[in-house]
Amino acid sequence: MKHLLKLSGLMAAFSAAPVWAQENLRIDGLEIIGEPVDAQMGFQPAVTRVAQDIHDLDYLILVIITLITLFVTALILWVAFRYNKKRNPTAASFTHHTPVEIAWTIVPILILVLIGAYSLPILFRQQEIPQADLTIKATGNQWYWSYEYVDDGFGFDSYMIGAPALGGENRKTPEVIAELEAAGYTEQQFLLATDTSVVIPVGKTIVVQVTGSDVIHAWAMPAFGVKQDAVPGRLAETWFKAEKEGVYFGQCSELCGNAHAYMPITVKVVSEAAYAEWLGKAKAEYAGIAQPLTVASK
Ligand SMILES: [Cu+2]
């Protein structure tokens, strides 16, 4: 019910004020880096060590599976041509070949050990949460994200610009485009850009505590190599250290209901000075606003 009230309030706000109230918290001049592009073949650019690790692991495994596929295809072709009925009318009748059987057991084990030797350290690096410079709590709701800057005692909700975009029609109306532009985006970023964004300083370790308030959501940011389920009643942690200033887009990545596609995530990675300035304004802007959940201070 609380969410419905919030949603109806938000819709009223949209119709009443096309220019978003967040304008004074805008950070201009940031390059949009983390977004999908037309005809994209690979991943979004990696701006954290973890994301780079994931790309490297993907490349390693791509090489391995390509070699295996070529090898198996060559074997099939060799057998089909060399041992077909015309070229090899009398088929061999043996059923076992011990050296070959040992080889096809040992070689896959070695391949798996090789993959494990690369993937396990990467997995540990993702899962071992370092000391945080900044802790943010992200709560998934149907269908928006709430953020709490737990060190600084404020929080805010983050809705897609143009939400709710349900109904199967193109909801990229002129009003929504105007809102996107007022917030510093283009219509290309419809379905990705949010009214408020998570703002973080560049090169700092950010720990994100992730939970859900109603159903399971997932907080995912491709350019950071981060994807963490938001499970009601549980507090999960993930972390990243973004090395490049810019705007990055992510999506809820756990099917959470009919507006699942309309709860994107926008993160702005900014210089330390710009972050300090934003933090001052954000504290003033959000002071006194009812917090989505109790704020724990460190
Ligand atoms: Cu979802």
Helix (H) or strand (E) holding 280: helix 272-286
pLDDT < 70 regions, the chain: 1-27, 164-170, 288-298
- The Å distance, Cα 168 to ligand 1 centre, comes to 17
Asked if 194 contacts 160 with a C-beta cutoff of 8 angstroms, the reply is: yes
Q: What is residue 12's predicted lDDT score, i.e. its pLDDT?
A: 42
Nearest to 202 by CA among 131, 125, 134, 127: 134
Question: Given phi > 0 = left and psi -120 to 50 = alpha, else beta, which region is 274?
Answer: alpha
Q: What is residue 145's predicted lDDT score, i.e. its pLDDT?
A: 96
Q: What is residue 225's predicted lDDT score, i.e. its pLDDT?
A: 95
pLDDT tens digit string along 54-108?
999 999 999 999 999 999 999 999 999 999 999 999 988 888 999 999 999 999 9
Q: What is residue 132's predicted lDDT score, i.e. its pLDDT?
A: 95
- The Å distance, Cα 264 to ligand 1 centre, comes to 9
How many angstroms separate the CA atoms of 211 and 137, rounded?
8
Q: What is residue 24's predicted lDDT score, i.e. its pLDDT?
A: 56
Give the Cβ contact number of residue 96 at 10 Å. 6
pTM above 0.75, yes or no: yes
- Please name each of the domains of the chain with its CATH number: 9-39+130-287 (2.60.40.420), 49-127 (1.10.287.90)
pLDDT tens digit string along 109-142?
999 999 999 999 999 999 999 999 999 999 999 9
Residues bordering ligand 1, an ion, CB closer than 5 Å: 217, 252, 256, 260
- The Å distance, Cα 252 to ligand 1 centre, comes to 4
